[in-house]
Structure 1
Amino acid sequence: MGGWERALDAAGVRESELRAGYGRERERVVAYKREVALAAGLLLPPATVPHVIAATAFMHRTDDLLDSGPVDTRRAASARWRERVTAALEAGRTDDPELGPLLHSAAARPVLRGRVLEFLAAADADLDFAGFATEADYQTYLDGYSLPGFMVVAALLGPDGDQDAYRAACRTFIDSSQRLDFVNDLAEDLAEGRLTLPERALAAHGVTRADLEAARDTPAVRALLGELLDRSDRDRAAAGAIVELAPPAHRPMIRCIIGVERLTAAAARADLGALPRRPASPGKPGLLRLLTREYLRARRLR
């Protein structure tokens, strides 16, 4: 019996059709972010793995609907998806094989239900995105979209019962993570017509959108991107409580998530001038060392 089959058993997934549904969700996650499926399988307790896979697959499906096609088409698809998932969660059952794993995981881990509904209610905020004039606009986006999205999976890694302190630490972490994403994905976002950096931050450094679209490697552009990465680094350091607030068995996974962010930020900082042309990626040796270190910690816990 393989590790995935043992994880399904540990999570109480017995019926063959439901096991097949979880298998399809795992295939989607592997195709989307293979490293997430790998890290979950290596670092998390087996009983947690299928639920994290189901939550991640749900997030990917929702993001796809928000990202594919004209805005009106995406808005209509998002509304249909929201109604479909909400109806299934409210009924507590479904004949839809695509939703079977999500409902089973929500029943096994009740915190997931609330986080899914919260994110579905917030999802259209990304459709309405029109850029940020100020830092305050960015912070509003974090509360309205980024944090609800992050908590769909993060809630499964948090403590049982009251998660208020854990959620506050997650809020600090996602501030760091989203800012890093916006800096590192600058070239891809601009190619899609999206400027995700606050306009006031550009103005403070004398940088224009045209400078970024033309991928001009100037001291001002480097100073802008470096300052945003500095702030991301500070917030990541301040979010350290997220590890201690989580159950010990989930800490290797959370440390790995934070570690990947740290390595990505270092890669971005190493070549600031290239970010308007392409994103930075951490080197494979560093990622492998991180994963190995947390895997050994996870094994000792077990």
Structure 2
Amino acid sequence: MARFRRASYVAARLLLPPYLVPHVVAATAVMHHGDNLLDTGTRAQRAAAWASWEGRVRRALGTGVGDDPLMRTLVHTMEAYPRLRGVVEAYLSTATAELEFDGFATETDLQAYVDAYSLPGFMLVASLIGPDADDGSFRAGCRTFIEAGQRLDFVNDLAEDLREGRLGVPMETLKRFSVSVEDLAAGRESAGVRELVEEQVRAARAGLSASRELSALVPGPSRALVEALVEIELLTADSALRRGAELLRGSASPPPLGTLRVLARAWRRARAER
């Protein structure tokens, strides 16, 4: 978790109550492990690795016994938070959308991917920091946040995704700006590329700004973390907007000083809540 996104890891350790941190880390580990299996190797290798792991998770769900440290940790967290069981089952049922992903033809395809993969994966963690009962508002807020974050990741990670041959910006969007995959792969910082990046980042930023309302839907102990995560994503979006077409050469990161300010404000909020 620390290697994948250090600012979010520090935020969780700093802002969550100590009793909740191990469970959030455990849920995040399950999400990342599944993601790695679905992303590593040939398609046949990925499919086989996922099928094996899914079978082990389902056995752990059925027996209450894990066969390795990660499984045992997952079982323990589900015992502490029984509502996680249904979230895990929902994640397993649609996660192969990532296995099938090799790019999007349309915006509709991107939205379907968010519903099938991004949101169920995020809910593994979100269900632990959210309300005990949800009337649908919390999940809808999570959907707004993760869609915006996923869109930001796709445009911010253009350079990496182009190397892997799995572009996350829909082809119809490229066409609208008269940009081709070949243009992006060649690193051509044309006016169309600049406009494309700006539109995608601004769309992500609008969703992230709307996600500020999510903190009002979570219990007090989780509120500071949710606020910090949204603000750090907004800082990342601002960095990506400044970088513009240079994202073709590498991703943008949130500025360290700005991130520290966000964490300091959130830490004061967390102390007040406790």
Please state how far the C-alpha of 1:241 moved relative to its aligned partner.
Answer: 2.5
Say how many residue pairs are matched: 274
Flag the 1:30–1:273 CA change in 2: closer, same or farther, 3 A: closer
Query: Counterpart in 1 of 2:180?
Result: 208
Give the secondary structure class of the aligned counterpart of 1:30. coil
Measured in 2, the distance between the counterparts of 1:148 and 1:87 equals: 20
Q: 2:22 aligns with which of 39, 47, 50?
A: 50
Flag the 1:163–1:59 CA change in 2: closer, same or farther, 3 A: farther
Say yes or no: does 1:228 pair with 2:185.
no
State the TM-score, normalized to the length of structure 1.
0.87
Please state how far the C-alpha of 1:32 moved relative to its aligned partner.
Answer: 3.9
Please state how far the C-alpha of 1:286 moved relative to its aligned partner.
Answer: 0.8
Please state how far the C-alpha of 1:248 moved relative to its aligned partner.
Answer: 1.4
Query: Counterpart in 2 of 1:273?
Result: 245
Identity among equivalent pairs (%): 47
Say yes or no: does 1:188 pair with 2:154.
no
Asked if the contact 2:215/2:226 (under 8 Å) is kept, the reply is yes
Give the residue type in structure 1 aligned to 2:92: L
Measured in 2, the distance between the counterparts of 1:31 and 1:177 equals: 18
Measured in 1, the distance between the counterparts of 2:178 and 2:67 equals: 57
Asked if the contact 2:233/2:254 (under 8 Å) is kept, the reply is no
Asked if the contact 1:185/1:279 (under 8 Å) is kept, the reply is yes
Measured in 2, the distance between the counterparts of 1:94 and 1:179 equals: 35
For the aligned residue pairs, the C-alpha RMSD in angstroms reads 1.3
Asked if the contact 2:14/2:267 (under 8 Å) is kept, the reply is yes
Asked if the contact 2:8/2:229 (under 8 Å) is kept, the reply is no
Flag the 1:121–1:240 CA change in 2: closer, same or farther, 3 A: same
Say yes or no: does 1:115 pair with 2:87.
yes
Measured in 1, the distance between the counterparts of 2:194 and 2:27 equals: 37
Measured in 2, the distance between the counterparts of 1:207 and 1:257 equals: 32
Unaligned runs of 5+ in 1: 1-28
Give the residue type in structure 2 aligned to 1:125: A
Please state how far the C-alpha of 1:35 moved relative to its aligned partner.
Answer: 3.4
Query: Counterpart in 1 of 2:98?
Result: 126
The structure whose Rg is larger is 1
Measured in 2, the distance between the counterparts of 1:284 and 1:240 equals: 21
Flag the 1:265–1:31 CA change in 2: closer, same or farther, 3 A: closer
Flag the 1:238–1:38 CA change in 2: closer, same or farther, 3 A: closer
Give the secondary structure class of the aligned counterpart of 1:98. helix
Give the secondary structure class of the aligned counterpart of 1:65. helix
Query: Counterpart in 2 of 1:169?
Result: 141
Measured in 1, the distance between the counterparts of 2:269 and 2:135 equals: 24
Query: Counterpart in 1 of 2:40?
Result: 68
Give the residue type in structure 1 aligned to 2:260: L
Unaligned runs of 5+ in 2: none
Please state how far the C-alpha of 1:131 moved relative to its aligned partner.
Answer: 1.2
The equivalences for 1:274-293 within 5 A come to 274-293=246-265
